[in-house]
């Protein structure tokens, strides 16, 4: 299948986000301190669990972007009805559910409205990717049945 212009742009944007994200992983404490409110502690003064959770969310986000790039490549390199596509969608769904869990646990200890909104968005994204994986699974079964009849 030929990539459309928008698909090429989206893939380039995802690659740029992944590269910039990997490079800025080193500078997470400085970036955190640069964009925080004045009444919030600096990154290094946060608890160890908070810092681990923050880095975990960051790495999971980068991993999701990496998997989305692979998803684009699979869809456009041939037939999109592959088991690998279903597996990638399920992995992304699980990663969003892990993000949801981390943000909800953080929201219990440091409650604010934005954290709950991010948690809900992660939960909805997780469900969406899982449903899409199930649709692809059904499409693969249907395609295989059609291939056998021909």
Query: What is the reported pLDDT for 150?
Result: 62
Query: What is the reported pLDDT for 137?
Result: 92
E-only strand ranges, the chain: none
For the whole model, what pTM was predicted?
A: 0.87
The whole domain housing 75 covers 5-149
Query: What is the reported pLDDT for 1?
Result: 64
Query: What is the reported pLDDT for 33?
Result: 86
- Other CB atoms within 10 Å distance of the CB of residue 60: 17
> 87 vs 22, 84, 128, CA distance in Å?
24, 5, 14
Task: Report residues of the chain scoring pLDDT below 70.
Answer: 1, 150
Q: Across the chain, what does the average pLDDT equal?
A: 90
| Structural domain count of the chain | 1
Query: What is the reported pLDDT for 75?
Result: 83
Q: 18-27: which pairs have CB atoms within 8 A and are 24 or more residues apart? A: 18/62, 18/65, 18/66, 18/69, 21/58, 21/61, 21/62, 21/65, 22/62, 25/58, 25/59, 25/62
Cβ(123)–Cβ(97) under 8 Å? Answer: yes
How many residues does the structure list for the chain? 150
Query: What is the reported pLDDT for 18?
Result: 96
Query: What is the reported pLDDT for 15?
Result: 95
């Amino acid at each position: 299948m030929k990539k459309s212009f928008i698909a090429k742009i989206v893939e380039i944007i995802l690659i740029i986000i992944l590269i910039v994200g990997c490079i800025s992983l080193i500078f997470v404490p400085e970036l955190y301190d640069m964009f925080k409110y004045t009444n919030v502690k600096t990154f290094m003064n946060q608890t160890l669990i908070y810092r681990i959770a923050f880095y975990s969310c960051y790495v999971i986000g980068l991993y999701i972007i990496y998997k989305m790039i692979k998803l684009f490549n699979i869809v456009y390199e041939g037939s999109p009805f592959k088991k690998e596509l279903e597996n990638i969608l399920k992995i992304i769904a699980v990663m969003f559910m892990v993000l949801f869990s981390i943000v909800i646990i953080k929201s219990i200890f440091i409650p604010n409205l934005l954290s709950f909104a991010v948690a809900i968005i992660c939960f909805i994204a997780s469900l969406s990717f899982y449903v899409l994986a199930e649709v692809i699974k059904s499409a693969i079964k249907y395609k295989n049945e059609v291939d056998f009849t021909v």
